[in-house]
Amino acid sequence: MPVLTRDEAQTRARLLDVHRYTIHLDLTRGEEHFGSTTTIRFDVREPAADTFLELPATGLRRITLDGADLDPAAAADGRYPLTALTRGTHELHVEAEPPYSHTGEGMHRFTDPLDQATYLYTQCCLADAPAVFAAFDQPDLKAVFHTTVTAPPEWTVLGNGIATRAGDPAEGRWDIAPTPPISTYLMAVAAGPWHSVRAEHRGIPFGLHVRQSLAPHLDADAEELLTLTTRCFDRYHQKFDEPYPFDSYDQAFVPEFNSGAMENPGLVTFRDEFIYRSAVTDAERQTRAMVIAHEMAHMWFGDLVTLRWWDDIWLNESFAEYMGYQTLTEATQYTDTWADFAIARKSWGYDADQRPSTHPVAPAPEDVLDTAAAELNFDGISYAKGASALRQLVAWLGEKNFLAGINEHFARHRFANATLDDFIDSLAHACDRDVHAWAEKWLRTTGVDTLTPEINAEIDAETTPGGTSGTATPEGTPETAPESRPGAPGDGADRWRLTIHHHGSRPHHLAIGLYDQSPADGPDGLTLRERAETDLPADSTTHTLTRPGRRPDLILLNDNDLTYTKIRLDPHSWDTALNSLSGLPDPLTRATVWNAARDMVRDGALAPAAYLDAARAHLPHETTTPITHAVLTFARTHIADHYVTPEARPVALTTLTDLCRDLLARTENGGQGIRLTAVRTSIDSATTPDTLHDWLHAGTVPGGPDLDPELRWRILGRLAALGATTPADIDAELARDPSATGREGAARCHAALPDPAAKEAAWHALFEADDLSNYLFNATAQGFWQPEQLDLVQPYLARYYPAAVALATRRGTTLAVSAATHAFPHALVTDENLRLGEECLRTTGPTPTLRRRLTDQLDDLRRALTIRNTTY
């Protein structure tokens, strides 16, 4: 199907005014196809207008215009030309029988291996609506949707509005209440024998829905999920003048979902891994809560007011991301969400912003010329960097002005479309700041600024007893009064000077934390002396602050993580951090320091081994799961697998194993989130199988936890990579756990076996057979490339790039993403891998999605090679 260009969309928007979609979906036509009947009522504004309709690429049966039959043969590649339309009202009627999808796009069909029950759901974003129904498929042609569905009588049907049975229940017919005007990409239906938990809040029906095999797990968490949902709902109503704009709020947790969730109005769909069948950490529960809050924010940001074209995707995602974290902090028990954002989410934005594929948060129109280009921008920049920019905007603008601008925006564009300029105008009306200039610097630029401190101690010749003269202080009120204490460089000085070297182009409103080592808090304790806020102008390369007394032991730029920038620590502050990082009292401050260390490793300014040493020293004292998880994940997946040489890798894994042993010893009587994180990392870092065999045979880790399905598959996957299990063992585990997750675990384990026949079978399944669903493809790919098996997988490197190009062409966007992420040969950190990848980009013409993903992977590979070759 051809992509929709911006020019085509603008031309069609000038010609048409779409009023209503009446859609009937027949889900009783067998396992391969479904029935789709669409009637579109629309106005044409000009005489003799030519335009086109998007519709299912295959299975078109009939099309009429104003009651007259048109020739179905005129359809080509998912489009139907409409020529010489007269001015006035028209009605199109399209009957089709499209195929079901097994890649999470269009109408996805899934049969649960546990009970053979079948479930269907739609995913229409970004340009997959025509795989379900005929449409003028662009976000600025909003219309009312009235959908009816015929399904097996034992099924439940969900949709954008309240769904009720119509007529004889044995007929399986459902009527979904008409929506307010919404965009085509937001139309949603989910059908199957759902297990549902229902409630009502503020007169609005709420529902939670899962497949039957997950019913006990939903029931265990239903109270928590509904409490989170209603608290966020109430908090948004305190923030927003516009009430919730739809008639119901269902949350369906669906199988084999590609994204974390999708904000369909009235029917949010989530990946059903969020219904936990195994033990999870408190950080994972917090992430689930954030996704719930994020998707609910979309009911206003995206659904009520919708972008006009896809260059403004940040108006959806950045706002939902910011509001999700902020609202969770304000309305629920998760009060440290910004520390979680800093350590676990923000690096996604930093990494994306330093790759060749970077783009502004709000790209220029000429950079998003079609839907294919738009799809590439659902990334760490549109989410994490955009949310960081909004957090900075609120810090600079003030929350009162920010919310006033938001509410004006909602009032101006209710059930309509808006652009970046529209939003900035609304903010500008609400305050006296130059928001337009701020937006140009923050939203139209690329890259990450870096702030580097330089500290000088000096004697003030004008000092008189009882005071210090001639000081310049940051703007804002410090949290604590400065004090002078001995014991650091600069002893005897009456004042010290901080010069911030600003490498970048953005203005920053930031806090500077000044910390002193405090014997009263133990040998590693640090006490906040002062946290002061200041503004760094966009055009300044240096910014100087002078403070009284001796220099602090630790000077931390961007304390509280208010802005989006990399920071460095001066040598004395870094030494203090190495000695006392775990003594910092605030999780957000610790997260900021760990992020600085992570950036220094990636930039070749800190040896990977030094990061591991810091983790070894301080993680045993860390009290928050998100920080523990993020540091261990970076150390295990980036440092051990990519940044150290194969010869040094066993030492890195041993360091992590020893660290996890300390964490397990510390958490025997508590800290279960940290304990589970340590168990997982210990499994992934094992270099010998003995301990893992002992755990598996005992069914428990000594001192807990007992091995649930997730941990059993994790152990078996590591044993497979080490060559310490057999296909028979894997099949026996699958018989023990024949669920969909079990099938994925088995596929991952079989692909990880160090056996030539197993590798060839996995390769055939990935790149030749074309019958793996999206999730089974990902699982097989995750098992294939193992750092322990470099000699075995090396011959597949030359086969990978042409195979990935061919697969992306055959199977489309979702599998292109999977081929370039999960199936990429990460384990081969070699010049040859880089050379072959660059040659592929130059000569083979990969699809836009594959090209973008490979470009990013090769940049990460290039960085890893640089780090390996750096002398520290």
Q: What is the pLDDT of residues 417-437, one digit of tens each?
A: 999 999 999 999 999 999 999
Mean of pLDDT over the chain: 94
Q: Tell me the DSSP string of 372-432.
A: HHHHTT-STIIIIIHHHHHHHHHHHH-HHHHHHHHHHHHHHSTTEEE-HHHHHHHHHHTSS
Mean pLDDT confidence for 618-633 = 97
**100 with 25: CB under 8 angstroms?**
no
Residues recorded for the chain = 872
Residue 508: C-alpha distances to residues 210, 393, 530 (Å)? 45, 9, 19
Q: pLDDT (tens digit, 9 = 90+) per residue, 16-51?
A: 999 999 999 999 999 999 999 999 999 999 999 999
Q: What is the pLDDT of residue 869?
A: 95
Question: One of 54, 105, 295, 533 is an active-site residue; which one?
Answer: 295
Residue 545: CB atoms within 10 Å: 17
d(CA 790, CA 829): 10
Q: What is the pLDDT of residue 522?
A: 62
Beta-bridge partners for 528? 515
CA diameter of the chain: 97
d(CA 753, CA 760): 11
Among the listed ranges 279-288, 311-320, 451-460, which one has the minimum average pLDDT value?
A: 451-460
Q: What is the pLDDT of residue 655?
A: 98
**Assigned token pair, 866:** 């640089």
**699 with 732: CB under 8 angstroms?**
no
Mean pLDDT confidence for 676-702 = 98
Residue 637: CB atoms within 10 Å: 13
Whether 689 has a pLDDT exceeding 50, the answer reads yes
**Residues 6 or more apart in contact with residue 20 via CB below 8 angstroms:** 40, 41, 143, 144, 145, 146
Whether 482 has a pLDDT exceeding 50, the answer reads no
**Strand pairing of 416-418 and 305-307?**
parallel
Distance of CA 79 to the CA centre of its chain: 32
Per-residue three-class SS string for 89-129: EEEEEEEECCECECCCCEEEEEECCCCCCEEEEEECCCCCH
* Residue that the structure tokens 């009947």 belong to: 37
Q: What is the pLDDT of residue 477?
A: 34
Q: What is the pLDDT of residue 580?
A: 93
Residue 427: CB atoms within 10 Å: 22
One-letter amino acid at 476 equals: G
Q: What is the pLDDT of residue 661?
A: 97
Whether 287 has a pLDDT exceeding 60, the answer reads yes
Mean pLDDT confidence for 201-207 = 98
**401 with 430: CB under 8 angstroms?**
yes
The helix or strand, by DSSP H or E, that contains position 854, with its residue range, turns out to be helix 848-868
Q: pLDDT (tens digit, 9 = 90+) per residue, 95-111?
A: 999 999 999 999 999 99
Q: What are phi and psi of 471, to 5 degrees?
A: -95, 145
Instruction: Tell me the Ramachandran region of residue 828: left when phi exceeds 0, alpha when psi lies from -120 to 50, beta otherwise.
Output: beta
**Assigned token pair, 96:** 């089709």
Q: What is the pLDDT of residue 797?
A: 98
Among the listed ranges 361-375, 516-530, 740-754, which one has the minimum average pLDDT value?
A: 516-530
Percent of the chain with pLDDT over 90: 93
**Strand pairing of 416-418 and 261-262?**
unpaired
d(CA 382, CA 321): 9
Among the listed ranges 1-5, 414-418, 441-445, which one has the minimum average pLDDT value?
A: 1-5
Q: What is the pLDDT of residue 670?
A: 82
d(CA 674, CA 72): 60
Whether 476 has a pLDDT exceeding 50, the answer reads no
* Residue that the structure tokens 């769904």 belong to: 163
Q: pLDDT (tens digit, 9 = 90+) per residue, 508-566?
A: 999 999 999 977 666 678 999 999 899 999 988 999 999 999 999 999 999 999 999 99
Question: What pLDDT band is residue 488 in, cutting at 50, 70 and 90?
Answer: very low
Q: Would you call 788 a catalytic residue per the annotation?
A: no
Burial class (CB in 10 A: 0-12, 13-18, 19+), 488: middle
**Residues 6 or more apart in contact with residue 869 via CB below 8 angstroms:** none
Residue 810: CB atoms within 10 Å: 11
d(CA 337, CA 342): 9
Q: pLDDT (tens digit, 9 = 90+) per residue, 290-312?
A: 999 999 999 999 999 999 999 99
Q: What is the pTM of this model?
A: 0.95
d(CA 638, CA 346): 16
